[in-house]
Structure 1
């Protein structure tokens, strides 16, 4: 049975933030490793010089954590 209740604004924002962090971090890693173009090039402004790989890995992990927290908020609201 599917719930028809809309997502809370916090869960929706966390979903968008999670997407931006995961995709931006992954595209940054691909750019650093293989020289591919940045899909989300604006995230390079969040990265300090000399710490690109570490910063992009942190972005991906943080994005996954934010996504899990948003999912937990959505599930808690349905219960």
Structure 2
């Protein structure tokens, strides 16, 4: 479970950073800008993904390894 949370956290972090990079540089990378229902909320969604990544990393660190 710890590894799954770390992988999901990494994916959320990458997508959040790519969303911010896309917004400020117009590179066509990432998932956030390709979702139509997030039109106009790309920065907010990217920041939420980065915060989610931090939470997932913290939750993964608090889990005991078996």
Give the TM-score normalised by structure 1: 0.71
Distance in 2 (alpha carbons) for counterparts of 1:47 and 1:19: 23
Distance in 2 (alpha carbons) for counterparts of 1:46 and 1:67: 28
Equivalence for 1:42 = 31
TM-superposed CA distance for 1:49, in Å, is: 1.4
Q: 1:16 to 1:49 in 2, by over 3 A?
A: same
Equivalence for 2:19 = 28
Describe how 1:1-79 pairs up with structure 2 within 5 A: 10-38=1-29, 41-44=30-33, 45=35, 48-73=38-63, 76-77=64-65
Superposition RMSD on alpha carbons, in Å?
1.9
In structure 2, list runs of 5 or more residues that go unmatched. none
The number of equivalent residue pairs is 65
Q: 1:56 to 1:12 in 2, by over 3 A?
A: same
Give the TM-score normalised by structure 2: 0.83
Q: Does the CA-based 8 Å contact 1:47-1:55 persist in structure 2?
A: no
